[in-house]
Amino acid sequence: MDGWDDEQVDQRSCLICGDRATGLHYGIVSCEGCKGFFKRSICNKRIYRCSRDKKCQMSRKQRNRCQYCRLLKCLKMGMNRKAIREDGMPGGRNKSIGPVQISHDEIERIMSGQEFKEDIGLPEHTWSNNGDSDHGSPGNASISEGNQPSPVSTLSSGRSVELNNCSAAYGDQYAGTQISAHYQFLPQLIGYAAQSGLLLPPARGLYPQTHTLITQLLEAEDMTPLNTPMLIEEGYHVTQVELFALLCRLADELLFRQVWWAKRLPFYSEFSVEDHTHLLGSSWQELILLASLTIHSPQINTDLTNITSQYTPSSREIQGFSEESMEVMEKMIYLFRKFQQLKVSNEEYVCMKVINYFNQDISGLACPAQLDQLNKRYWYVCQDLTEYKHPQQPKRFPELMMCLPEIRCIAGKMVNVPLEHLPLLFKAVLHSCRTNQNHLRANSAPLPTSGCSPDN
C-alpha cells in the first residue's frame, strides 16, 4: 500500500478532511495538507484549544478553522506520531509503521500537552487556533469539497494497540495474557533481519483466548450457500424488473442471516435488545456487503454473475445512470478486487464483522463502555490471528481494517442510488470482477514447457 500510482491516488480521499489523498502518510490515507499539519503539530509540540464543543466539522475548506479538532481527528483516525522523524526532516522514520490505535486517555495527554511535558520536562505552551494552517498546500487548490464518510468505526479512540507494532499494553489488556518478549519486538526484528540476513525467531502459536473467541464467532455464523435460487436457462433474456426482484430477494435473505447471527453471538445476552437493535440497524448494509465480499463471494461471482450477464440494459437505462451511481460502482469494483487480492479467510471475516458491528458511532446505547471493551478484545484477536497466520505479511492487519471504512463509505452512498439503477450497477461490478479474475488466472497459469532443458 506504500506504492500508489496516480490512478489509485486520484480515487482516494483524505480520511481527515476529505481532500484528494496523495498517499499513505504516517500510517493512514491523507492529503499533503493534513500530513504537514500533523507533522508540525507533533514536532513543535503544539497545544491547541477549541472555542466550541470539540466537534468541529473537518473539510477541505474548514480544516484550518479549528486546529484542535483537526489534530484530534488525526489521532483518532490513526495517524502515527512515531512514524515522524525526530529531526523533522522529510521522509518517515520507519516505512513499515502503520496506523496506530491509542486510548482515550493517551489522546487526552497529547491534546493537553501532558505527554510533551513528561517527555521533556518543559512548561506547557498554549497555541491559538490560527497558529497553524496550510493554505496553498500542494494539490489542494483545485479540489472540490466533499467530506468522505468518516471511518470512525474502524479508527476510533479507545484502542491502545498499534497495527504494525504490538505494544506492551496488548499484554495487559488482552485477557490477561502475557506476551513473549520476541513478539513485542517482532516488527523491529523483521526489519533488522532483512538488513542483516539474520533468521526470524521461531514461529509462535495463537494465544488460547484467540482460538476460543474465534471459534465462538465461527459457530455463530451461517456460512452455508445462499438459498435464493439463482439458476437460469441458457439463452433466457433477463429483464431489469426480474434482476431487481432477484437482488431484493438476496438482500432479504442476507438481512435475515444478519439478524440470526446477532442473536447467536456469545455476548448477545449481555446487552439489551434495544442496543442490539440500534447496532444492527446502523450496520446491516455494511454487514451484507462484507458477507458478499467474503463468504458468499464464490456464489455471487458465479451464479449471480451468470444471471446479470443475461441482462442487457437499454440505452435509456445507460444514459440515465447517474454520477452518484457511477461513483458507487467504481468504489465497489475497487473493493471487490481488493478482497480478491487479500483472500480473506473465514476466521478473519468473522473478526472483521464483529469489529464493524461494534464500531457504530451512535448515541443512546445503554452500555457504550462495555461495547468498546468488546471491540478492543476482537480488535486484538484479529491482529493476533493475522500476524500468526501471515507472518510474512506484516501489513495485512491494517489492510483488512482499512477495508472497513471503505465498506462504510459505499454503504452510506448506496442509499442515494436510485433503485432502478441497481441492476445495471451490479451487472457492471460483477462483469468487471469476472474479467479481473480471468485476467489473474491467465497470468498465474503455468507456462507451457518444451522438451528441451533451459541449458539447451
Q: Give the pLDDT confidence score for residue 376 in this predicted structure.
A: 86
The pTM score is 0.56
Residue 155 falls within a domain, yes or no?
A: no
Q: Give the pLDDT confidence score for residue 40 in this predicted structure.
A: 87
Are residues 116 and 221 located together in one domain of the fold? no
Are residues 274 and 126 located together in one domain of the fold? no
Nearest-angstrom CA–CA distance, 185 and 399: 21
Are residues 399 and 310 located together in one domain of the fold? yes
The total of structural domains in the chain comes to 2
Place of cell 465480499: 293
Residue 178 falls within a domain, yes or no?
A: no
Nearest-angstrom CA–CA distance, 129 and 52: 11
Are residues 241 and 109 located together in one domain of the fold? no
Q: What CATH number does the domain containing 94 carry?
A: 3.30.50.10
Q: Give the pLDDT confidence score for residue 14 in this predicted structure.
A: 87
DSSP string, 272-291: -HHHHHHHHHHHHHHHHHHH
Nearest-angstrom CA–CA distance, 404 and 151: 7
Instruction: Pick the last residue of a domain from 130, 148, 168.
Output: 130
| Helix axis angle, 346-358 to 368-389, nearest 10° | 160
Q: Give the pLDDT confidence score for residue 91 in this predicted structure.
A: 52
Residue 99's domain spans which residues? Answer: 6-130
Residue 214 falls within a domain, yes or no?
A: yes
Q: What CATH number does the domain containing 214 carry?
A: 1.10.565.10
Instruction: Pick the last residue of a domain from 130, 164, 197.
Output: 130
Residue 436 falls within a domain, yes or no?
A: yes
CA dihedral 101, 103, 106, 112 (to 10 degrees): 100
> Are residues 312 and 404 in contact, defined by beta-carbon separation less than 8 angstroms?
no
Q: Which residues of the chain have pLDDT under 50?
A: 1-10, 88, 93-96, 119-131, 135-202, 447, 449-456
Are residues 277 and 388 located together in one domain of the fold? yes
Are residues 352 and 245 located together in one domain of the fold? yes
Helix/strand/coil for 162:
strand
Q: Give the pLDDT confidence score for residue 201 in this predicted structure.
A: 41
**Cβ neighbours for 306, distance < 8 A, ≥ 6 positions apart:** 230, 232
Residue 159 falls within a domain, yes or no?
A: no
pLDDT digits (tens, 9 = 90+) for 161-211: 333 333 333 333 333 333 333 223 333 333 333 333 333 444 567 788 899
Q: Give the pLDDT confidence score for residue 143 in this predicted structure.
A: 28
Give the rounded distance of the alpha carbon of 452 from its chain centre: 49
Q: Give the pLDDT confidence score for residue 297 in this predicted structure.
A: 92
Instruction: Pick the last residue of a domain from 80, 115, 130.
Output: 130
Nearest-angstrom CA–CA distance, 423 and 71: 42
Residue 55 falls within a domain, yes or no?
A: yes
**Burial of 242 by CB count in 10 Å (0-12 exposed, 13-18 middle, 19+ buried)?**
middle
**CA–CA distance from 318 to each of 97, 152, 247, 323 (Å)?**
44, 35, 19, 12
pLDDT digits (tens, 9 = 90+) for 239-268: 999 999 999 999 999 999 999 999 999 999
> Are residues 383 and 390 in contact, defined by beta-carbon separation less than 8 angstroms?
no
> Are residues 167 and 102 in contact, defined by beta-carbon separation less than 8 angstroms?
no
